Structure 1
Amino acid sequence: MWFVIRLILQPLQRLRRAALAIDSEMIDSGLSAGRLPVVSGPREVADLSAALNRMLGQLLTSMHATRRFTADAGHELRTPLTTLGMNLEILRRGSGLPAHQRERALEAMAAEHQRITSLLEGLQTLARGDARALPAPDDIDLADLLAQAVGHARRRHPAVTYLLSLPVQEIPTVHGWPAGVRLAIDNLLENAALHGHPAGQVQVNVTMAGRSAQIIVADDGPGIPADQRETMKERFARGAQTRGDGSGLGLALVQQQARLHGGALDLGVSPLGGLAAVLTLPIAAPALRASR
């Protein structure tokens, strides 16, 4: 009997020794290092091993996302905070500054404050995506979502002409996180306005490609050279011809949401002469439903 009990407890003892052996150095070396051994039996112990490894994987993913957020925030916030501090010092010491100089300093501070806020919001969203801290997916009415996003973009950029073209007879339905898809589309529309002509045109089209929907946002700006397009999807990437005060996170956010939804982001040449950003998302089942 004692021999049988030892055989049963042996897998649990292996799990206990492996758990005690996990330390910060193992965690720092990667997700695969901080794992417990796979146990084949008894079934209850094997299930426990699998559950614990899933939990460890989620914790490690979340931890690495937090570390990346901290590193990115520390690196990118240094410049705007320094600028903000300098302007505050100017205002503190310059009680006799002319009104127009004080106004310029205040405008610069407001711009830096907005930059910091946008940067933190973008970094938080990227960190949540890295940690896969996502809500339950749902079916997304792509036509309604696009109409709302374009309407919002028109209000933000009244000088820009947004042209939205949807399929006439069929509307694709996407399965995913509505807020994430909306975030990706908002960033594409914002980028098109910032990097196109000041009073230019942005074309927004939806096409079908097999079992996927393609959202195409095309602007009339300078575009992105072919050899720089993949680099521009990375965090904090800014092109040589970039216009505006973006955070450099827009396309990185779109790229992340595309991957989280099992899709892709491709950059090409717009028929307007600028950039064409193509967001491809898998269609939910049933694949299509009739247009209302």
Structure 2
Amino acid sequence: MALLDHSGKILQTNSLFSFLLPAPDPQGRNIREILRKPEFVAALTREEEITVYLDPSWTGRGHLEVRLIPLAERKVLLLKDVTRIRQMEVSQRDFIANVSHELKTPLTAIAGYAETILEESQDEIISHSARVILKHSERLTKLIRNLLTLSSLKGHLLEEKILLEAVVLQSLEAVTSLAREKQIKLTFKGKGQVFLRGKEDLLVQALINILENAIKFSPPGSKVELTTETEGPWIKITIADQGPGIPEEAKERIFERFYQAGRDRRQGAGLGLAITKEIITVHGGCIWAENLPSGGAAFHIILPAIP
């Protein structure tokens, strides 16, 4: 632990500080000299709370969690060794990857045979059975893909410069066919070139998950609207639908893994919104949902913008 003044100068440390973070004689130095991560320095300047993760290339030892907490006239820096947690996460990812690989091969074969039956069979009962097989094999394939995505996100900090509009347009393009099938109108409102740091394909996936959810639970002929705006150093993305809204008892749980809100939502595995939250969190943002007074639900995402 370390106590900093408003400028980032180290006023006091405990005995573990220099052991965890390679910083000889830290007292009196500015934390910017020791921890040069751009997102950390930016949060220090803006007087914001932030948590960053350092790998062995930074610490020379193990994985470290660094949390900055601004107080009235001081700042507190908390260090936590998360090496064992990272090792367990690697083991978990390896296990999921191995199991997923073993499952993908038979699922591909099952789907292939089901498609062949659909193409060649003249019997409606057999064709119906093949469609059911194909539908559920596709669902399991998507579940495996989602599990792989979810397991790979923890603790990663991603630093590519991305144009927000490109993320939005790719997301809308990906769900256009689904919207057309349900006669849902997609609209987008946003202006100006806004940039953020992150990984483009992950942010696209996060928006797709919410858009698919909005389309899925919206009545035919309704509208799903995506808007973007800047609020100081932040980007706000809102996706609003005209569906039935979110059950009151589900509002606090819809981002949990495998949770499904209501009987009519049991068609998936309950991972889409959990993955979305992980993606947004790893990009330094937050996400929440609310019911609109006019009906329907709105999902709000806040992400840090960059100049």
TM bucket normalised to smaller: 0.5 to 0.7
Cα 1:283–1:110, aligned 2, differ >3 Å: closer, same or farther?
A: same
**How many angstroms does 1:252 deviate by?**
0.6
CA contact (8 A) 1:62 1:130 kept: no
The equivalent residue for 1:54 is 63
Q: Distance in 2 between matches of 1:130 and 1:249?
A: 15
User: How big is the alpha-carbon RMSD for the aligned residues of Structure 1 and Structure 2?
Assistant: 3.8
Q: Distance in 1 between matches of 2:22 and 2:249?
A: 53
Between stretches 172-181 and 269-278, larger displacement belongs to 269-278
Cα 1:276–1:98, aligned 2, differ >3 Å: closer, same or farther?
A: same
The equivalent residue for 1:109 is 133
Q: Distance in 2 between matches of 1:118 and 1:178?
A: 20
| Aligned mate of 1:229, from 251, 259, 270 | 251
Bigger strand fraction: 2
Point out where structure 1 has 5 or more consecutive residues left out of the alignment. Answer: 1-36, 89-96, 287-292
Cα 1:39–1:253, aligned 2, differ >3 Å: closer, same or farther?
A: closer
Point out where structure 2 has 5 or more consecutive residues left out of the alignment. Answer: 1-17, 25-55, 65-80, 114-120
| Aligned mate of 2:295, from 247, 254, 273 | 273
Cα 1:188–1:41, aligned 2, differ >3 Å: closer, same or farther?
A: closer
**How many angstroms does 1:152 deviate by?**
2.1
TM, length-normalised to structure 2: 0.63
Q: Distance in 1 between matches of 2:57 and 2:255?
A: 40
> Which AA in structure 2 matches 1:205?
T
Cα 1:266–1:100, aligned 2, differ >3 Å: closer, same or farther?
A: same
**How many angstroms does 1:120 deviate by?**
0.6
Q: Distance in 1 between matches of 2:61 and 2:303?
A: 33
Between stretches 155-164 and 114-123, larger displacement belongs to 155-164
Aligned to 1:232, the other structure's residue is in SS state coil
Cα 1:57–1:244, aligned 2, differ >3 Å: closer, same or farther?
A: closer
| Aligned mate of 1:38, from 5, 19, 22 | 19
**How many angstroms does 1:195 deviate by?**
1.7
CA contact (8 A) 2:175 2:211 kept: yes
Aligned to 1:140, the other structure's residue is in SS state strand
> Which AA in structure 1 matches 2:62?
N
Cα 1:198–1:68, aligned 2, differ >3 Å: closer, same or farther?
A: farther
Cα 1:241–1:126, aligned 2, differ >3 Å: closer, same or farther?
A: same
The equivalent residue for 1:173 is 195
The equivalent residue for 2:205 is 183
The equivalent residue for 1:143 is 165
Deviations 1:113-165 (Å, cap 9, x if unpaired)? 01101101111000000253x6x521111112212211221133312210111
Q: Residue 282 in 1 paired to residue 291 in 2?
A: no
CA contact (8 A) 2:161 2:195 kept: yes
**How many angstroms does 1:208 deviate by?**
2.0
| Aligned mate of 1:64, from 89, 99, 102 | 89
Aligned 1:74-223 pairs, distance under 5 A: 99-130=123-154, 132=156, 136-158=158-180, 159-167=183-191, 170-223=192-245
The equivalent residue for 1:263 is 285
Larger Cα Rg: Structure 1 or Structure 2? 1
Q: Distance in 1 between matches of 2:22 and 2:228?
A: 51
Q: Distance in 1 between matches of 2:184 and 2:209?
A: 15
Higher relative contact order (CA 8 A, sep 6+): 1
Deviations 1:194-239 (Å, cap 9, x if unpaired)? 1222443101111222211111001111111344212110111101
TM, length-normalised to structure 1: 0.66
Q: Distance in 1 between matches of 2:20 and 2:235?
A: 42
